Chains A and B, each alone.
Chain A
Amino acid sequence: MARTVAAFKVDHFQFLDPDGKLIEDQQVPALAKDFDRLTRLYRQMVLTRVFDKKAIALQRTGKLGTYASCLGHEAAHVAIGSAMRPEDCFAPMYREYGVQFCRGVRMTDVLLYWGGDERGSDYAGAPHDFAWSVPIATQCLHAAGAAMAYKLRDEKRVAVSVVGDGGSSKGDFLEAINAGSAWKLPLVLVIVNNQWAISVPRSRQNTAATLAQKGVAGGLPSIQVDGNDLIACLWAMEKALAAARDGHGSFVIEMLTYRISDHTTADDARRYRPNEEVEDAWRKEPIARLRNYLIEQGAWDDEREQALQDESTEEVQQAADEYLAKVADDPQPVTAMFDYMFAELPHDLAEQRACAEQYPDDGGQH
């Protein structure tokens, strides 16, 4: 007769329903009534969405390269970014602008990066955060390494990384879970499960009931939250960060959301997913949900909404103008491709740099 040697469960947390009603048949965190904070984060979510829309417009008009939209992820991203402390470290994938704006990355930085200029990853406002990581899930191990550095130096800092549902299939993510578990690292791994890895749906990644349970398999406390519910995301992040900071090791949070946009501006999701699914996602999206809640609680109104939209549009326009002026008036010289390869330029690169200087404006053709 077999005996059970391990059993597990994964808890799902949600405090706001899709209409923005507080689900009250449970203990609701105090932050659900901290309207100063919630309105501040709401503003951040709106700004992120206005930015996203502008970035797509810039791409569609030929002023920006391929861009990965964050539409629909605003609650998850703003919760992650606002719960972290400045001294913590964020290792993004490539669409977590909502996290990054909270941490001091500028909108201009994001536009520079997708606009083909490396200076976009030189975050003055988030000096030790990692840059965007396009090779899927690799950032999870960089965060684990950062967490190891902090642990070895006895610093009360936490490393946070984000991976998608697709990325959760990669070894890097699983190895980061193992690392967090083996060394009890101050590490928080967030699976922002937006249901689509380009054209491959969540169901094709595997048949596990949750992605959070991958953390359980590695021995980590792991939960799932509604990723369109800012309160749930924020509550989970605070809990995970506090545990990690206090030496209790790593944590996995799966945030269930939906990629309302195409994968990037180079993708057309209409080719592979039904429109009804997207329409359903719009009914559950995070910004209207939080706005409805704030309005019902008397913490928000149409007047403030209009002012916020105007301010956000203005702020985003300034960033876009700054980006366009930067690439037009202050482009990187051809030598820039050599000057950051090594601390000191090796002789062979010095020779090639001199060659490039002879052809400052020459090259292939787009």
Chain B
Amino acid sequence: MAAMTLIEGVTMALARAMEEDPAVVVLGEDVGVNGGVFRATAGLQQRFGEQRVLDTPLAEVMIAGMSVGMAAQGMKPVAEAQFCGFTMPMVDHLMCHAGRMRNRTRGRLSCPMVLRFPSGGGIHAPEHHSESPEALFAHMPGIRVVMPSSPSRAYGLLLAAIRDPDPVIFMEPKRIYRWQKEEVVDDGEELPLDVCFTLRDGSDITLVTWGAMIKETLAAADQLEAAGVSAEVIDVATISPLDMDTIVESVSRTGRCVVVQEAPRHCGVASEIAAGLADAGIWSLLAPVKRVCGYDTVMPLYRNELKYMPSVQRILDAAHQVLEVS
């Protein structure tokens, strides 16, 4: 057992999956010899060979389209998009093929592929490297969307994603790739792809978030506790399908909820959660549900990127607004 970072959890899961299933093939730009620009695939080509870890031509549509083709013919491709912004050309194959393959053929063919990529801002990256497009993918029928926020969840959720018989978008919050170290056992145990994780129990307010926003949200929960407020923190982790039951159950006890996301607010996952609470949790709510989100603007270049993302203070202010309603 070793203390490792989130990205090392990703690497360990990839290696484990490749070890246990010869159909698992990693492909993407710079994933082979170079081991990926963030080192997620470091050492895999040396260990498993060029037949299992494919350096592709610089062609995102090719990566997505070939993954669909490989998956439909018995392979389990785990493709990497180098950054979130470069997934946009892949959308055609995800929306029009990956998510439809099983349904279109009445189960004759399926598409057990994973597309993983670093998501979100906060690392001083260039343009198109810092967006949070989870809502875009969550809107696609037939596709699961997952975003881990800790080394052990990265390991367990990625293993589950690769073993899953259907396509999974696996978004990696790159700002926290190396934030925390955690002991992770390489035991092959997967985590469920449809259940939220309650990171912290509380009784006064429910803070719901996912991905790198875990960092600010947990910090806000600490400060609330110091002020005598007990905050429950839920990591959604599996964006689609969305586990509203865990969130509704929590709010049934706390009566108050703030949803925090780095992505823009309009038509976002936070809005879906707020709508879910309006539908299934309205009678437990003691106050309006607040969403603390990225702005509905273009993600700024890096000098202003942190100002775009929800701060601990914005979360606290929203929490206090919600707590003040009696």
Contact = CB atoms under 8 A, between A and B. Distances in A.
A138 B93 contact: yes
Interface stretch (B105-113, B183-191, B216-224, B257-265): B105-113
Interface stretch (A20-28, A143-151, A266-274, A308-316): A143-151
B232 interface: no
Contacts of A128: 72-73, 109
A347 B241 contact: yes
Nearest to B93: A138
A150 B70 CA distance: 9
A135 B71 contact: no
Interface in A102-131: 118-119, 121-123, 127-128, 130-131
A342 B102 contact: yes
Contacts, number: 143
A354 interface: no
A342 B140 CA distance: 13
Contacts of B96: 134-135, 138
Contacts of B142: 341-342
B75 to A, nearest CB: 5
Contacts of B165: 342-343
Contact of A341 (B67, B102, B164): B102
A175 to B, nearest CB: 4
A145 B72 contact: yes
B103 A118 contact: yes
A242 to B, nearest CB: 21
A39 interface: no
B29 interface: no
Contacts of B105: 118, 121-123, 131, 340
B66 A179 contact: yes
Interface string B59-95: 1011011111111111101000000000001001100
Which of A133, A153, A337, A346 is the most central at the interface, judged by chain B CB atoms within 10 Å of its CB?
A346
A342 B25 CA distance: 22
B62 A131 contact: no
A141 B67 CA distance: 9
B166 interface: yes
A150 B69 CA distance: 11
Contacts of A336: 106
A149 B62 contact: no
Contacts of A142: 65-66, 68-69, 72, 97
Interface in B40-75: 51, 54, 56-57, 59, 61-62, 64-75
Which secondary structure characterizes the binding site on chain A?
helix
A141 B60 CA distance: 11
B204 interface: no
Contacts of A145: 65-73, 75, 77
Interface string A323-363: 00000000000001100111100111100000000000000
B166 A342 contact: yes
A75 interface: no
Interface string A67-103: 0000000000000000000000101000000000000
Given A149-B75, A152-B25, A178-B57, A343 B66 contact: no
A153 B56 CA distance: 18
Nearest to A134: B96
Given A175-B65, A343-B166, A346-B194, A149 B70 contact: yes
Contact of A141 (B25, B69, B107): B69
Contacts of B243: 347
A295 interface: no
Contact of B110 (A134, A135, A343): A343
A178 B59 contact: yes
Given A142-B72, A148-B70, A343-B102, A172 B61 contact: yes
The 10 closest A-B pairs by CB, nearest first: A145-B69, A141-B65, A145-B66, A142-B69, A346-B241, A175-B62, A343-B165, A149-B73, A122-B106, A145-B70
Given A145-B69, A145-B75, 14 more contacts: A121-B104, A133-B97, A141-B64, A142-B68, A144-B65, A145-B66, A148-B54, A148-B75, A152-B25, A152-B51, A152-B75, A172-B65, A179-B57, A342-B142
12 contacts: A127-B108, A135-B92, A135-B96, A138-B93, A141-B62, A141-B68, A142-B65, A144-B62, A145-B69, A152-B51, A171-B59, A182-B56
